[in-house]
Chain A
Amino acid sequence: MKKVLITLVFITLTGTIFAQSAVDKIFNKYAGKDGYTTVVINSFMFKFLSKIETNDPEYESFKNATSGIESIRILTQDGGNSAGFGKELLNILPRKEYEELMVVKEATEEVVFLIKEEGGKVREFLLIVSSQDDDDALIVITGNIDLESIASLASGLDLPGMENLQDLE
């Protein structure tokens, strides 16, 4: 009896250790699905990119912003919002696991910024876009994230916003 109990406890424990996070579940569900675009840049690539030396100031600013980043994963729903991908994201992603950094609600679009903090650093960053006119999107950044550097990447640029995402393959 005792052995069974111990076994059960251990199994549960290992189950939780290897449990998929909500974000992983989303990617598992939608990656490669028709009508959705998946982009993954993994840690191996970021290490590689960080080693490249150039004279290009733009690339330097990029290296700055991404110095701690381990991975970027992007899911976009192509062509419109009929399936309510964005809404599902907003419902599924457990807001209580994350800290809400900012929410911007407009008539046709809701944008949510979530972060997970660990030891004073931002370890995970989520951007959820739920839009009526444009594509819904989820961007997940993991690593030691430097939000200020990232935020300054687009300052001064007049980016129309969603059109950029549509170019993301």
Chain B
Amino acid sequence: MDKLTHIKEILGRFYEGSASLQEEKELEAYFLSEKVPEELSADKEFVLASAKLMEAIEIPDDLDAKILDRITLAEQSERKVRRISVYSLSGLAAGLLILFSVYLGILRENNLNSRLDQYAIEDPERAYQEARKALEFVSAKWNAGTSELNNLQEVNRGIESISTINKISSGSRELNLLGNLKKAENITIQ
């Protein structure tokens, strides 16, 4: 059969999904090199556009580096979890008992911490986001609470009570948490 018929036949199977990789390459070669009849111009566009797609996706230069960084971070994080307790045993039974209870204590602490460490975030970006969200939440709640002090007239809000706000002091220094606290001192409702 002539070339055109041959190509059309492969094309038919191509659109049925049953052309082999070899035949697909044949199509590509044909459309690249020969003058193509009008009826096949759409197919030409499609086949040529589908060729060489792998090269069209640019792999970032630092992809592998970033992956290794991530893994290294995880490695280090894991190593921190493994705490090694070293004890020496004394001869006295009493000494043994003390050390035994110390061991239990450390084990328990290890268990708690390593139990929680499985929930520890390992992705710095996510850690930043979560930490930021948490702090902003705290901040929002705090600001909302202190601003309430200014709106005591709004009984409809259903505010039942605001307890005393302690000033934090140590020695002579007073921690002044926002100017609002000053106002809060004047409004003490039991």
Identify the A interface with B (CB < 8 A).
Answer: 3, 6-7, 10-11, 14-15, 17-18, 20, 24, 27-28, 31-32, 38-42, 44-46, 48-49, 52, 59, 62, 65-66, 69, 72-74, 99-108, 111, 113, 115, 117, 119-120, 122, 125, 127, 129, 139, 141, 147-148, 150-155, 157, 159, 161, 164-165, 167-169
Q: Which of B9-17, B30-38, B45-53, B121-129 lines the interface with chain A?
A: B121-129
Q: Other than A45-B122, A154-B143, A165-B133, give 5 A-B pairs with Cβ distance below 8 A.
A: A14-B98, A18-B105, A31-B115, A44-B80, A165-B137
| Contacts A32-B119, A66-B131, A148-B177; A49 near B124 (Cβ below 8 A) | yes
Q: Which of B18-26, B57-65, B168-176 contacts A (4 or more CB under 8 A)?
A: B168-176
Contact in complex: A139, B163 (CB < 8 Å): no
**Residue ranges of B at the interface with A (Cβ–Cβ < 8 Å):** 73, 76-77, 80, 93-94, 97-98, 101-102, 104-106, 108-109, 112, 115-122, 124, 127-128, 130-146, 148, 157-166, 168, 170-171, 173, 175, 177-178
Query: Mostly helix, strand, loop or mixed at chain A's interface?
Result: mixed
Q: Which of A3, A107, A139 contacts B138, CB < 8 Å?
A: A139
Given A31-B115, A40-B120, A113-B142 in contact, is the A15-B135 Cβ separation under 8 Å? no
A113 (CB) vs chain B CBs: closest residue:
B142
Q: Contacts A38-B119, A104-B145: A10 and B97 contacting too (C-beta < 8 A)?
A: yes
Q: Looking at the assembled complex, report how far the CB atom of B139 sits from the nearest CB atom of chain A, in whole angstroms.
A: 3
A residues less than 8 Å from B134 (CB atoms): 39, 72, 74, 139, 168
In the bound assembly, the distance between CA atoms of A127 and B128 in angstroms comes to: 19
Q: Which residues of A contact B135 (CB under 8 A)?
A: 62, 65-66, 72, 150, 153-154
Contacts A/B (CB < 8 Å), 24 sampled:
A10-B94, A10-B97, A10-B101, A11-B98, A28-B115, A41-B130, A45-B120, A66-B135, A72-B130, A107-B157, A108-B158, A113-B142, A120-B170, A120-B171, A127-B137, A148-B177, A150-B135, A153-B139, A157-B140, A159-B140, A161-B137, A164-B140, A165-B133, A168-B134
State which of B101, B109, B160, B164 has its C-beta within 8 Å of the C-beta of A11: B101
Across-interface contacts of A169 in B (CB, < 8 A): 130
Measured CB to CB, the closest approach of chain B to A168, in angstroms, equals 6
A79: min CB distance to chain B, Å? 18
* A107 contacts B158, C-beta separation under 8 Å: yes
Asked whether, in the complex, the Cβ of B136 is within 8 Å of the Cβ of A164, the reply is yes
Q: Are B177 and A151 in contact (CB under 8 A)?
A: yes
Pair B139/A151 contact, Cβ less than 8 Å:
yes
Q: Which of B101, B131, B136, B173 contacts A120 (CB 8 A)?
A: B173
Residues of B within 8 A of A49 (CB): 124, 127-128, 131
Question: Is B139 in contact with A155, judged by CB distance below 8 angstroms?
Answer: yes
Query: B131: which A residues are within 8 A, CB to CB?
Result: 41, 46, 49, 62, 66, 69, 72
Please name all residues of chain A whose beta carbon is closer than 8 Å to the beta carbon of B97 when the two chains form the complex.
7, 10-11
A19 shortest CB reach to chain B, Å: 8
Please, how many angstroms separate the alpha-carbon atoms of A168 and B121 in the complex? 12
Bound Cα distance from A10 to B98, whole angstroms: 6
Q: Report Cα–Cα, A112/B148, bound state, in Å.
A: 14
How far is A111 from B142 in the complex, measured between Cα atoms in Å?
9
Chain B residue with Cβ nearest A111: B141
The reply to whether A151 and B117 form a contact with Cβ atoms under 8 Å apart is no
